[in-house]
Amino acid sequence: MDILKIAKKPLIAALMISAMAVPAAAKSYRLATNVSDDSTAGQLIKQFADAVAERTEGRVEFELFMNGQLGDQLQYFQQIQRGVVDAGLINSAALENVIPAFGVVNLPYVFRTSEEYGAVMTNPEVRGALFAAAEQHNFWPLGFLSSGFRSIYTTKPVESIDDIKGMKLRTMSSPTYIEMLNLFGAVPTPLPFGELYSGLQQGIVDGAEGGLAGLYVANFGEVAKYALETNQTRLTDFVVTSVRFREDLSDEDLAAVVEEFEKVSLESIAFADATEAKQLQQAVDEMGVEVIKVDTAPFIEAVGPMYEAARADEAKKPLIETIFEIENREF
């Protein structure tokens, strides 16, 4: 009898049991944003990252790069498409430059209430229409995170649409947002978000369109003291990943990532409304910002041509008709 073979058998069995007991190695993935960690999106992304790490027992961990550490959205989006960055927060205005259908959800006053917004953004048909071409552009969507409604804030007193005519207002590099401000009578001025504070301070711009919570969170209320509550758009943030990220995960871990993001996504609407209302009130109380309630009818009337153009665009018409049907609204 071969004594060596007998001795080897328990050793081999022990090694096999030991190998089976070793968990998959933890891996860190880079997730980029251009927002602060205390912003609405920043808080929700941190919640999502913590939930994924716990759910996967550390196999999938996200290293968060906040405040534009990896560049602005268009810069790190290109890195996501190349597979260099694993995931990132990309808003619908940035995605419009890649997939024109996103111009529909950017239309001013396409969402009139939070309830309409929720009904549309959780609709599978809408999601399918928005992301049908995603993989052709080398990215993969996890889903949406809601921000609150966007309005206008300025360094000069304002009370109506007439007061913003001729004002230089910062906006994103989105055809829809630029056209909207033109129709309002303002002078749209694309500017990186990170340069907005100095732009307001130095008079490069007279104000901006954006979430009014930014007056407090980004300290814009130190220089922009007037908040015109126009609620013209509800910019949607999306978290997208590289195709390589998706392929790198096991089926189990990918399912965990998708499910945990869906939980955060669904609670983001109410969370955004509550958080941003609180932060705007802090800007009022601590920075002396004045909130002006405004008649939105002239703003809605001004952007009528944008809807006519969307209706004439065969790439956008089906999606906008679907949205109006969900909202029980006439085109």
Strand partners, 229: 293
Query: In this structure, which topology does domain 24-326 adopt according to CATH?
Result: D-Maltodextrin-Binding Protein; domain 2 (3.40.190)
Nearest-angstrom CA–CA distance, 188 and 310: 21
Nearest-angstrom CA–CA distance, 276 and 253: 32
**Is the pLDDT score of 21 beyond 70?**
no
Return the higher-pLDDT residue of 35 and 330.
35
Angle, vertex CA 89, rays to CA 84 and CA 94, nearest 5: 95
267 sits in the region (left: phi over 0; alpha: psi -120 to 50; else beta) called alpha
Domain segments of the chain as ranges: 24-326
Nearest-angstrom CA–CA distance, 176 and 182: 10
Q: How confident is the model at residue 24 (pLDDT cuts 50, 70, 90)?
A: low
Closest C-alpha to 31, from 56, 51, 61, 53: 61
Q: Residue 84 has what DSSP assignment?
A: S
Q: How confident is the model at residue 295 (pLDDT cuts 50, 70, 90)?
A: very high
According to DSSP, the β-strands at 60-65 and 226-233 are: unpaired
pLDDT, tens only, 30-62: 999 999 888 889 999 999 999 999 999 999 999
pLDDT of residue 103: 87
Interior/surface letters 85-106, b for 16+ CB within 10 angstroms, e for the rest: bbbbbbbbbbbbebbebbbbbb
Q: Residue 89 has what DSSP assignment?
A: E
Nearest-angstrom CA–CA distance, 241 and 299: 36
pLDDT, tens only, 114-132: 999 999 999 999 998 898 8
Q: How confident is the model at residue 152 (pLDDT cuts 50, 70, 90)?
A: very high
Predicted TM-score (pTM) of the model is 0.81
